[in-house]
Amino acid sequence: MNKNFKLSERAKKIPASPIRKLLPYADEAKKRGIKVYHLNIGQPDIPTPDVFFKAIKETKEKVIAYGPSQGLPILREAIAEYLRKNSINAEPDDVFITIGGSEAILFSYLLTCDKDDEVLIPEPCYANYISIGAMCEIKLIPIRTTVETGFHLPPAEEIKKLVTKKTKAIVLISPNNPTGTVYSENELREIVKVAREFNLCIISDEVYREFTFDNIHHTSIFHIKEAEDISIMIDSISKRFSACGARIGFIFTKNEKFKEALWRIPQARLCPPTLEQYGATACFKEFQKIVPRIKEEFERRRNVVYEEILKTDGLFTQKPEGAFYTVVRLPVDDAEDFVKFMLTDFNVNGKTVMLAPANGFYVSNRGKNEARIAYVLEEEKLREAMQILREGLKEYAKRKSN
């Protein structure tokens, strides 16, 4: 190895994923014969719909050739129809297919920001907004939210104080990963007022749109007329259709300048995957048969996790309103150390649990005593995992006190 070779400064600044960085500890636990319940990653165990695979098998393609950079017309039309059924004024030309939601984040940053520009984002936030921001060399400015308020947004006047001459956009994630918070229509309208006052773009991540609980209604940024010309929506099939590995996402926008650029920027990576677009098209056409039962399943799982949190001394969170996550405050000083302990030094009958330390979801250096729980397992497994977590917290406290 050439020891004189130097990494770029950009590469040095890209943080490790809080979801994946501790996986080597889980791998070692498995080698020792320990079963690990993964509550650290948003990978649902719900089967991908049969129509996804059927559409791929029935494709008439003889050669998997390059497709359009903006995505296949049939998928863009299917998504536009899906959005119209969600009371969003959509046409196929407003839709641009991306390689997962992560590429949609990248393109949104490239559309709105130059190097050293600033983006406001409520924290904790989905970690890829942080890592992709580092790749783009932009500065994320955190909007502070807390577990005590269910991670809802602070008053608009507080957010305005964060705006500078370099601020170009505000990111909203609702339903939220990692917190499970669903922003109200009033919260969104306040953000729209701020964005219009300071000429900012709104980047609205609505990947978990359907997953809201307790009759809470999801409001899209495109349900607000005043936001239509300043907004970009990020979405993905990963969670809605339990197809994380398909890597099909999309950007939706009505802004003509953004749309013109979105015909050019994706050309640099040629095209999104072809076969998976056929599978995604079939799922959107069968949407009403697929998603409601998945939503019901996640609501049941949310109930299990929240019930177990309430039974566990020292754990605190507000009841998650959507998505399939919650960020909990733990009765520890260092959540990462506790997660490692659970994987290296603790098990119940050969079983243990892995959480995602929440510090990596923060732009600032907060959340060290918090962790994200992803309720992506069957109810029985979830209940057992939460019981193991409860015992692990007790044992960890004993060792720390000795």
Judge if 294 and 273 occupy the same domain.
no
Judge if 302 and 219 occupy the same domain.
no
Q: What is the CATH number of the domain that holds 18?
A: 3.90.1150.10
End of a domain among 286, 306, 331? 286
Contacts of 232 (CB under 8 A, 6+ apart): 108, 111, 112, 201, 202, 203, 204, 251, 252, 253, 255, 258
Return the number of other C-beta atoms located less than 10 Å from residue 84's C-beta.
12
Question: Alpha helices of 177-236 — where are they, by DSSP H?
Answer: 185-198
Judge if 72 and 28 occupy the same domain.
no
Judge if 83 and 186 occupy the same domain.
yes
Return the number of other C-beta atoms located less than 10 Å from residue 41's C-beta.
16
Q: Would you say residue 2 lies in a domain?
A: no
Radius of gyration over alpha carbons of the chain, in Å? Answer: 21
In 295-394, the DSSP E strands lie at 325-329, 351-354, 356-357, 370-374
End of a domain among 256, 286, 316? 286
In angstroms, the Cα distances linking 112 to 58, 157, 193, 231 are: 39, 23, 18, 11
Q: What is the structure's pLDDT at 173?
A: 98
pLDDT digits (tens, 9 = 90+) for 155-214: 999 999 999 999 999 999 999 999 999 999 999 999 999 999 999 999 999 999 999 999
- Strand (E) or helix (H) holding 250: strand 249-253
Judge if 74 and 122 occupy the same domain.
yes
d(CA 367, CA 358): 5
Q: Would you say residue 352 lies in a domain?
A: yes
Q: Would you say residue 33 lies in a domain?
A: yes
Judge if 345 and 242 occupy the same domain.
no
Q: Would you say residue 1 lies in a domain?
A: no
Backbone angles phi, psi at 174, to 5 degrees: -150, 125
Q: Are 330 and 315 in contact (CB under 8 A)?
A: yes
Judge if 362 and 381 occupy the same domain.
yes
Q: Are 240 and 210 in contact (CB under 8 A)?
A: yes
Backbone angles phi, psi at 217, to 5 degrees: -100, 135
Q: What is the CATH number of the domain that holds 105?
A: 3.40.640.10
In angstroms, the Cα distances linking 372 to 40, 45, 180, 364, 392 are: 7, 18, 10, 16, 16
Q: What is the structure's pLDDT at 144?
A: 98
- Burial class of residue 86 (count of CB atoms within 10 Å of its CB; 0-12, 13-18, 19+): middle
Q: Would you say residue 225 lies in a domain?
A: yes
| Tokens, residue 260 | 């013109």
Judge if 334 and 206 occupy the same domain.
no
Contacts of 337 (CB under 8 A, 6+ apart): none
In the chain, which stretches have pLDDT less than 50?
none
Judge if 137 and 102 occupy the same domain.
yes
Judge if 153 and 262 occupy the same domain.
yes
Judge if 100 and 161 occupy the same domain.
yes
Please identify which residue in the block is written with the tokens 């929240």.
306
pTM passes above 0.85:
yes
Q: What is the structure's pLDDT at 1?
A: 57
| Tokens, residue 180 | 């499970």
d(CA 340, CA 28): 11
Please identify which residue in the block is written with the tokens 């922003």.
183
- Burial class of residue 197 (count of CB atoms within 10 Å of its CB; 0-12, 13-18, 19+): exposed
Parent domain of 96: 50-286
Q: How many domains does the chain divide into?
A: 2
Judge if 161 and 270 occupy the same domain.
yes
Q: Would you say residue 300 lies in a domain?
A: yes
Please identify which residue in the block is written with the tokens 């500065």.
139
Q: Would you say residue 350 lies in a domain?
A: yes
Please identify which residue in the block is written with the tokens 């209940």.
383
End of a domain among 250, 268, 286? 286
Q: What is the structure's pLDDT at 35?
A: 98
Q: Would you say residue 245 lies in a domain?
A: yes
Say how many Å lie between the first and final Cα of the chain, rounded. 45
d(CA 105, CA 129): 7
